[in-house]
Structure 1
Amino acid sequence: MHASVLKYFVEVARCGSVRKASENLYVASSAINRQIIKLEDELGTELFDRVPNGMRLNAAGERLLKHVQSTLHDFQVMRSELDALKGERTGHVKVATMDSMLNDFLPASVEEFSEAFPAVTYTITSAAPMDVPSYVLSGQADAGLTFIVRLPSGLETVAEAALPVGVVMSPGHPLTAKQAIGLDDCARQPFLRSGGQSPISSTLSPEFAQFWDGLEPVVTCNSTEMIKRLIIAGKGISFFSKIAFIGELERGEVVWRPFDLPALNQLKVGIVVHGQRVLPAVSQNFIGRMVRRLRQMEIAAAAV
């Protein structure tokens, strides 16, 4: 089976929708749907239940998904091993991350690493914090960057930093007068939401999860850069870790305040890997450099 067909299948399975998979892959919905139907015809069985709100894997689809994820992972390992046999400093690094790490942390990590390893290629996937672990467990990512909250069995944390979620606002906002901010304070303010899913699980803070579900944002956008601009312009507040706003905080363009919820203030950002998987040397090297950078960013965040 062609690699692109497998990629389409995995993305539709992950999203539960051809339309969402199309948006993520930048491929026409009709092309993805055609390839899924062709795959089902080739295998002689349907792989999805077509339900009113999307596509849901059936038993045959679940079995194929496990095979495909294993195959794709083994292919990447084999490719890295072949690169090592050739004596080249090449390979492919896969990282799944929550969106806030894409502003500075990962771009800087890739820039630095590419200086020493110019032939290395990368797949960087943005995902909701609670979805990152599944990418690592399935082999779709060598490492994940997410909040460390009751990780699934099989994952290990190789580094963590105290970078909790707090309230970000413009310097002139009235909430800057508070040293810690309550959910009731936030309820009365225009809210700018980055993405649709809560960054905090109900397991960590049921109070925050319930509050999030009741929010009516003035803007919802999956671009952190756009949310940043609106915050700086004084159009509302938002909830982020400092890690997404280090530069803006240093320049005095925004102000960050912690919540008055102890559970949220203990939250840490971490790098997770599969505990039973031996990664290619190039991936281990890249993860090692991310570990050092995360520690540096924790120090920088504490200073602003």
Structure 2
Amino acid sequence: MIISIKLSKTTYGIGYLTSKRRIHSTAIYCFDSVRRLGSIREASRTLHIATSAVSRQIQKLEDDLDVQLFERSPNGLKLTSAGESFARHAQFVLKDAERLYSEIDAIKGIQKGHIEIATVEGPSIELIPRVIKKFKTRFSNITVGVHVIGSSKMPELIINGEVDIGLAFDIENQRDLNQLWVKNYVLGAVVSKDHPLTYKNKTGLQECCAYPLILSKKGLSIHKHLSSFISLIDSSHQVIETNSVELSRKLALSGMGVTFQTIIGIEEDLANKRLFHIPITHPSVMNSELGVYVRSNRTLPVAADYFVRDLIHELSQAAESATSR
């Protein structure tokens, strides 16, 4: 790795080194150049610093560490054992500095731009607003567009490039989609605080049939999980059908019946005990897979890349919180 350092055009020497790309001690740059080139003179030429100045920096390092870092050989300067140990440290420090420069350059490059996101409704209620708020505090000039759609329509938008990032439940594996993050969430019966099921640790679909039901329409991933169950419900049963997760939530809050979903979208209601989520375990445990998706073989724009990192971080934290609950 070549480190380029600029000297100010003064006669004051090395103390007036002015490179904007130098955040560490001058000595570490001098050491690394001597290590790579095997010569103080060559390091001096590369760094545009006087030979005597490079020598003083090496000598200062050796004095500070109280060891000899280089020994002379017919082929130039060679690292001692102590020098090899320090070289590993220096390389780590300088590589980390390069990573930092790249990240800073990336941040500078996203002062303006636009991101398009597609999400199913559940995450749009609480999670997506949190992510957008966090993102906008850092990148206020980036505009964000959000499509709230069903999972079935998500792949087409991502693959066609209409959106940069997709967040959806139960998308089947596709060659043109890249899954960046995934988590399985248990489907449960969701009821208000006064409902008889509130005191259950688990329930079955048939047990839920003792009460009015709030069901998802076709097009939502929840309907796929419950389709066999829904087909057996008697036509005389009290049923409300909707394609809105938020409406299902509000109907459940008002005591209108039992709805079915994961904890995504009702986190605050659960925390405040306004709603209760009872896992469905009969006829079997039912899981719904929430994933973050982008188009395969596509490099995300810098702004979208930063957003998806924030999104995955928030999702991971939410998953940890749900596990510990």
What band does the TM-score fall into relative to the shorter chain?
0.5 to 0.7
Given candidates 248, 261, 264, the residue that maps to 2:269 is 248
Bigger relative contact order, structure 1 or 2 (CA pairs below 8 A, ≥6 apart): 1
Given candidates 134, 147, 151, the residue that maps to 1:129 is 151
CA contact (8 A) 1:133 1:151 kept: no
CA deviations 1:164-210 (Å, max 9, x no partner) are: 322110122222343322221223321223554342475xx5xx322
Give the whole-Å Cα distance in 2 for the aligned partners of 1:135 and 1:112: 25
Give the whole-Å Cα distance in 2 for the aligned partners of 1:263 and 1:291: 29
The alpha-carbon distance between structure 1 residues 153 and 214, as it changes in their structure 2 partners (threshold 3 A), is farther
Question: Residue 159 of structure 1: CA displacement?
Answer: 1.1
SS in 1 for 2:264: helix
CA contact (8 A) 2:205 2:283 kept: no
Matches within 5 A, 1:1-304: 87=109, 89-200=111-222, 202=224, 205=225, 208-213=226-231, 218-260=239-281, 265-304=286-325
Give the whole-Å Cα distance in 2 for the aligned partners of 1:120 and 1:234: 41
Question: Residue 91 of structure 1: CA displacement?
Answer: 1.3
CA contact (8 A) 2:220 2:243 kept: no
SS in 2 for 1:93: strand
Give the total of aligned pairs. 216
Larger radius of gyration: 2
SS in 2 for 1:146: strand
SS in 2 for 1:150: coil
CA deviations 1:32-84 (Å, max 9, x no partner) are: xxxxxxxxxxxxxxxxxxxxxxxxxxxxxxxxxxxxxxxxxxxxxxxxxxxx9
Give the whole-Å Cα distance in 2 for the aligned partners of 1:266 and 1:235: 25
Q: Could you tell me which amino acid in structure 2 is paired with residue 165 of structure 1?
A: L
CA deviations 1:107-135 (Å, max 9, x no partner) are: 11111111111111122111112322222
CA contact (8 A) 1:167 1:258 kept: yes
Question: Residue 297 of structure 1: CA displacement?
Answer: 0.8
The alpha-carbon distance between structure 1 residues 295 and 188, as it changes in their structure 2 partners (threshold 3 A), is same
CA contact (8 A) 1:142 1:279 kept: yes
CA contact (8 A) 2:204 2:283 kept: no
Q: Could you tell me which amino acid in structure 2 is paired with residue 128 of structure 1?
A: G
CA contact (8 A) 1:198 1:212 kept: no
Number of the residue aligned with 1:21: none
Greater CA drift, 137-146 or 218-227: 218-227
CA contact (8 A) 1:143 1:271 kept: yes
Give the whole-Å Cα distance in 1 for the aligned partners of 2:221 and 2:276: 19
The alpha-carbon distance between structure 1 residues 189 and 218, as it changes in their structure 2 partners (threshold 3 A), is same
Aligned-residue sequence identity (percent) comes to 25
Q: Which runs of 5+ in 2 are unaligned?
A: 1-105
Q: Which runs of 5+ in 1 are unaligned?
A: 1-83
**What's the TM-score, normalizing by structure 2?**
0.60
CA contact (8 A) 1:198 1:209 kept: no
Give the whole-Å Cα distance in 1 for the aligned partners of 2:165 and 2:109: 24
CA deviations 1:235-281 (Å, max 9, x no partner) are: 11111110111100000111101111587544321111111111111
SS in 2 for 1:151: coil
The alpha-carbon distance between structure 1 residues 250 and 97, as it changes in their structure 2 partners (threshold 3 A), is same
